[in-house]
Amino acid sequence: MRRELRAAPEALFALFLHMTDGVVLIDRRRHLSDINPAAEALTGWRQRDLDLLTCSVFGCRDEHGRPLCAEQCMALRAIESGDVMPMRAMVINNAETQPVGVEATIIPVRAPDGRYSSAAMVLRDLAPVTGYLDALRLVNEDLADRNVALRSLQAGLSSAWKLPLVTVQSATLTLQGHYAANLGATGMRHVKRILEAAHELEGLFARLQAQARTSANPQRRRKAEPEDEKTGE
């Protein structure tokens, strides 16, 4: 059932002029008949240019560079079928033949006699989304670099600290067992403090190793979070 729109033509024209998405009207001959200011800003073409242009100037293609209108123009397909061509990402050329990433929806437009005589190509600029994705990619790369650093720290903590710490502990125990008489009470207190510090260092390295392992493994971190919350309670 066809729905009749109650809005006055002036309201529709105001919407056409001021909507943030670009709109280009294409007739059955594939000529561009109208373009709104948002589409002018996006494509670089102006209303005064349209008399000489067909929609082929856009060179519509998918993200991989494959032509989308090789068999039949999508606008003409919408006009002849009366079906909306659903929104899809594509690349078009602007007036300077530079590629522009857009999301496009092509809508058949019915004439007063009931036939579909043109199509409206609605264009949404993907540059803000692309900028966001680029920023997200940089964040992910930074996280990957940090993850590599954490794994290196984890590997270092798992082995590099053991030999010097064991050496300190062994030397201190030797002093304590064989030279206690020579060291005296004061010397033995220092030896005891060295052993206690070595023990504390051993515990510290073990905690750092566990933290590095958890930070480098997101799944372990997620499993640990509920336990931490329970501990907090």
For residue 139 the two structure tokens come to 């964040």
Residue keyed to tokens 């933290």 = 211
Q: Which residues contact 32 (CB under 8 A, 6 or more apart)?
A: 24, 25, 26, 45, 50, 53, 54, 55
Considering the entire predicted model, what is its pTM? 0.57
Most confident residue range from 99-103, 139-143, 150-154, 185-189:
99-103
CA–CA dist 75, 118 (Å, integer): 8
pLDDT of 213 reads: 66
Residue 210 has pLDDT above 80, yes or no: no
CA–CA dist 158, 144 (Å, integer): 21
Residue 231 has pLDDT above 50, yes or no: no
Residue keyed to tokens 């992910």 = 140
Residue 182's pLDDT band (boundaries 50, 70, 90)?
confident
CA–CA dist 53, 101 (Å, integer): 20
Which tens digits make up the pLDDT trace of 116-145?
Answer: 999 999 999 988 665 555 666 766 676 676
Q: Burial-class residue 164 by CB neighbours within 10 Å (0-12, 13-18, 19+).
A: exposed
